[in-house]
Amino acid sequence: MRTAGLIVLYVGAAVLGSYFVFRPTFDSGFAAIQTERGDGMLNHYLLEHSWLSLSDSTYCGSFLSPPMYHPAPRTIYYSENLWGVAPLYWALRPALPHDLAYIWWQILLNALNFVAFAVVARWLKWPHVVAVGGAFMWAFAMVHADQIKHQQMIGRAWMPFAAYYAIALVTAPSARAWNRLCGCVFFQSLACIYTGWFLVAGLVVFVPALVALTPGAGGALRQLVRERRGAVLRAGGLWGLAMAALFVPYLVVNFGIGRVYAETYSLIPTPSAWITGSPGSMWSDTTAPYRVPVYLECWLFSGFTIYALMLAATVSLLFYKRDERPPERALIAAAMLTVFVWALITLTPREQGDSLWRWVRFVPGGTAIRCVSRVYLVVYLFGGIAALTWLTKVTERISRERLRFAVRALVVGAMMFEQTRYEQPHFERKDFYPLVDATAAQLKGAQVGYIVPVFVDTTGWLGYGADGEVFAMWVGLRANVPVVNGYSGRAPKGYPEFGTQPDHETRDWLKGKFRGTVRRIDPRAPDRTREIVVE
């Protein structure tokens, strides 16, 4: 009976959270898709490209070269590759069309975040109700749900496991913990380079801090290295080679390219960012008088309950006598130190103000980071672990079991309730995919295509610029024709300036790389289709 109740508790929380996050999709009967037409549809393009490259021998692209920016090679390295999360999409594709597969991929991938954190919470011996609360926050908190529009940020399931094996490595050193920690870092980086980078950034502070705060940990780790040197070096070396295989091609293709500090101005968290929730959310209006507007990538608030727990966990560290400090004190202190260090490094007093990030970004991989506000991954992973570890331990002092459960349930319930009352950006599937197919019909049979990056959907919404380029890339994908169009984290060297290309710019880009004809199509005026000859 107890097992059935626990199953209901976990499944119910996962289903409820999924409904909160994907409400526009569910309420519309899957007519709506929760994404944006730029980055979000680029991610779907990359997933569908990888599926076609593996399943269709007639496909015009190859696994490393989506048919965009034609004829530039290895174009996958201009953006996230999503290889770590694509297998779930591939598993859905035989049973579902591409648009529905993308929707279910988002829902199921996010559910995996819930499962991953719940498993780790139980390994940390948190009570079930607290484990459910932590898993709910990691999967469905506002700050995470808002990033559904950037689907590469959904796959975070390896991050809790990495944190757990980091704790295990310090508290009970073993070659197995080291091997699994390295593996988790690799697989998280394979899922999303951004999340992998911030995971490593957090661990670089967390692990040394935990070693310093855990009595005897340094000696135990040195003993592990002495006694299992071969296993330690083998695991580190093999996972290091895997990381090199993943990242070296990015370094080669993007050699000499980095983001200047000014590109990050509006994407560095300000104090207001940490109390700004998604529009329409529980505290959006309440906190408005106490903050200034922030850029839409900096909605980092997920309620006061989780902040209160983090603060209580931090303050509690001051009240332990030296000879009465429990083992959890080191974990809480190391986790909160990680939160404070990275929150401080990435904080600026105002938009376009200075920040420690100006200098810290020169660590390996840092100059590729544009959206610095994604430091929320570090804050909510390690802060959540500290906060809920403290909640678990402080409530253990309550002797009456029912009262103890009631207190935990009340706190967790408040934390979950604060994540409600917001709605994700979305649009109707019919306002993208059928329009793509209609234009693709005009492109089929061409050698190469160039699609004017402007389209109008059935509501009269005008798609142009980045949205238009992604639309054009989808047209090429559906027509199975490579296109000159492209949109990604960066463009190949010598590619024309962003925007509609006149014929001479298309010729200049292709000169010396391609000879033949390019079919130019304007989605608003398909009767004006013409051929551009490139000699």
pLDDT digits over 207-266, tens only? Answer: 999 999 999 999 999 999 999 999 999 999 999 999 999 999 888 887 766 678 888 888
- With 80 as the cut, is the pLDDT of residue 453 above it? yes
Q: Tokens representing 53?
A: 């490259």
- The pLDDT, as a whole number, for residue 322 is 65
Q: Does 71 sit behind a cis peptide bond, omega within 30 degrees of 0 on the bond before it?
A: yes
- With 60 as the cut, is the pLDDT of residue 1 above it? no
* 16 within domain boundaries: no
- Closest listed residue to residue 74, CA positions, set 84, 86, 62: 62
| Whether residue 167 sits in one domain with residue 311 | yes
Domain that holds residue 505: 31-79+427-534
Can you tell me the distance from the alpha carbon of 67 to that of 36, in angstroms, rounded to the nearest whole number? 21
- With 90 as the cut, is the pLDDT of residue 350 above it? no
| Whether residue 445 sits in one domain with residue 411 | no
Q: Which of 355, 384, 417 is the last residue of a domain?
A: 417
The phi, psi pair for 204, rounded to 5°, reads -60, -30
* Percent of the chain surpassing pLDDT 90: 75
Grade residue 324 by pLDDT with cuts at 50, 70 and 90.
low
Domain count, the chain: 2
525 CB neighbour count, 10 Å cutoff? 10
| Whether residue 356 sits in one domain with residue 474 | no
Q: Which of 417, 440, 466 is the last residue of a domain?
A: 417
* 87 within domain boundaries: no
Q: Tokens representing 479?
A: 């027509």
- With 80 as the cut, is the pLDDT of residue 456 above it? yes
* 334 within domain boundaries: yes
* Percent of the chain surpassing pLDDT 70: 98
Per the prediction, the chain carries an average pLDDT of: 92
| Whether residue 460 sits in one domain with residue 342 | no
CB contact at 8 A, 497 and 508: no
* 69 within domain boundaries: yes
Grade residue 288 by pLDDT with cuts at 50, 70 and 90.
confident
The dihedral built from the CA positions of residue 389, 395, 401 and 403, taken in this order, carries a sign that is negative
* 51 within domain boundaries: yes
Q: What's the average model confidence in pLDDT over 130-141?
A: 97
Of residues 465 and 483, which shows the higher confidence score?
Answer: 483
Range scoring the smallest mean pLDDT among 123-127, 240-244, 498-502:
498-502
* 422 within domain boundaries: no
Cross-strand partners of 517: 533
| Whether residue 194 sits in one domain with residue 67 | no
Q: Which of 392, 417, 442 is the last residue of a domain?
A: 417
- With 90 as the cut, is the pLDDT of residue 112 above it? yes
- Closest listed residue to residue 465, CA positions, set 42, 75, 112: 42
| Whether residue 175 sits in one domain with residue 67 | no
Q: Tokens representing 191?
A: 């899922």
- With 90 as the cut, is the pLDDT of residue 110 above it? yes
pTM for the model: 0.94
Provide the pairing of β-strand 516-521 with 448-451.
parallel
| Whether residue 367 sits in one domain with residue 482 | no
